[in-house]
Amino acid sequence: MSPSHAYGPTGHRIVGAIAESYLCAEAATEVRSMLAGESLAEAGLWADRIRGNPDWRYTSPWHYLNVPDDAPIERAGGGDRGDVLWAIGRFRAELADSSVSPRHRAEALRFLAHFIGDVHQPLHVGREEDRGGNEVDVMLGSKRTNLHALWDAQALLKADRRSVGYRVEGQTEAILQLTENDVPRLQRTPARVWARESQYLRPYVYAFRASSSRRGFRPDADYLALARELSKLRLSQAGVRLAGELNQLFCPGGQGP
C-alpha cells in the first residue's frame, strides 16, 4: 500500500479532541507541557504533514499494516520498515521513557496520536493487492476518487455536518457520545485488537459489485450512510483509546478523569 492519509485533518482533529476530553489532570498537564500549549487535536496532524519532506520519507510504512482477509494480525507486519502496530509500540515506549529528550518525547506523542487514529481506519489495515483500496476507483458525484480516500472520511464527515447542521465542535460531541458508555472496555483492549477490528470491517468496506464503468463504482446512499456511521464510530473508539494510553502513562494508577 502506498501512503495515504487516514481520516484527513478533520478526522484526526476529532480523535485528538475526544482524547483530550478523557484525559486525567496529570495527563492533560503533561500533554500541554510536551506540546508547548499545542492541542492534541492539532498535534495529531503532524505525522501526515512531514511525509512530503524527503528527510521523513522513511516513516511512510508506519501508517498502515498489510494483511490478507483471513490472516492473523499477529503474523502480519512491515518487516524491517515497520508498520502501524510497530510504530504504536515504539512511540508509546519512547513517551514512557523520561530519559528520552523532551524534543523526541514530543515527537513520540505526535506520532502516537496520529497512528492510533490510523489503525482505526479500516483500509489502513488493508489488502496489499489493491494497496489498501487505493487502486479501487470510486465516483462521488462528478468527482473521481478511490476507496481508500472515501474511508479516510473527510468527505463523509462533511456530508454528515451538512445533513444535520453541525459545526465541527457539535459533530465532535456527537461522535464522542457514540462510545461514552463503553470507555473502560475499549481502553482495556491492546493495539492488535484495534487492528483486528479494522480487518473485520472489510465485508462492509467491500460491499459493492465490481463496476463495469471505467470510472469506478458509484456508492449508493445506503453504502455511504453505513460508511459514515462506521467511520464516526471508529473515530470515537480511537479518541477513547488514545486517552487511555496517555492516562496509563501519566496518571497515578492509570485512572482517567
CATH value at residue 176: 1.10.575.10
Q: What is the pTM of this model?
A: 0.94
2 located within any domain: no
Across 126-150, average pLDDT: 93
Residue 247 neighbours by CB under 8 Å, 6+ apart: 22, 23, 24, 27, 187, 254, 255, 256
Residue numbers of the domain that contains 210: 8-254
Cα separation, 128 vs 2, in Å, equals 9
Share of the chain above pLDDT 70, in %: 93
Cα separation, 247 vs 171, in Å, equals 24
- The count of structural domains within the chain is 1
- Over residues 7-27, the pLDDT tens digits come to 789 999 999 999 999 999 999
Share of the chain above pLDDT 90, in %: 84
200 located within any domain: yes
3 located within any domain: no
- Over residues 25-71, the pLDDT tens digits come to 999 999 999 999 899 999 999 999 998 899 999 999 999 999 999 99
Give the confidence band of 254 by pLDDT, cuts at 50, 70, 90: low
221 located within any domain: yes
